[in-house]
Amino acid sequence: MDTGNSYVNALLGAAVTIVFSFAGVSPLLGGAAAGFLERRDGARIGALAGLFAALPMAAVVVLFGGFAFLLMGFGEPFAGGVVILLFAVLFVAVYTVALSTVGGVLGVYLAEEFRD
C-alpha cells in the first residue's frame, strides 16, 4: 500500500505506534512502517510519524499523571507536580520522535532491501 502522500504514511505509522503502545519499542515499529510505505526520506517521515504519535501519548501521560497526583493526596495544584508532568511529557515526546526517526530510516532500508 504505497500512497503518494507523506502525511498519510506518517499517520499510518503513528497508528501503528499507538496500537502497539504496550510494547516499549512501538515508536520504532511505527517509524519503520511509515518509512517502508514512504520508501524515501526515512528520517523525515519517521520523525513526522513520531510527532503525530507523541501528541495522544503525551495527552495520556498528562491525564494519568493528573489522576495519580489526585490519588496521592496532592489535590491542590503545586509547582512540583506541574514540573514533573512537563518533564514526563517532554520525555515521552523526545523518546517517541527519536525512536520513530530511527525506525523510519530502518523502514526505508528494508523497503530497498526487499524491493520487488
Domain that holds residue 27: 6-113
Establish if 100 belongs to a structural domain.
Answer: yes
Look at residue 48 and tell me if it is in a domain.
Answer: yes
CB 37 within 8 A of CB 13: yes
**Is 13 inside a domain boundary?**
yes
Cβ burial of 107 (10 Å; 0-12, 13-18, 19+) is buried
Q: Residue 85 has what pLDDT?
A: 85
On whether residue 77 sits in a domain, the answer given is yes
Question: What pLDDT is stored for residue 69 in this prediction?
Answer: 73
Please state the pTM of the whole predicted model: 0.85
Residue 91 has pLDDT above 90, yes or no: yes
Note whether residue 1 is domain-resident.
no
Domain count, the chain: 1
pLDDT tens column, 39-67: 888 999 999 999 999 999 999 998 888 77
Mean pLDDT of the chain: 88
**74 lies in some domain:** yes
Instruction: Tell me the average pLDDT across 72-96.
Output: 80
- CA torsion 105-113-9-52 (nearest 10°) is -20
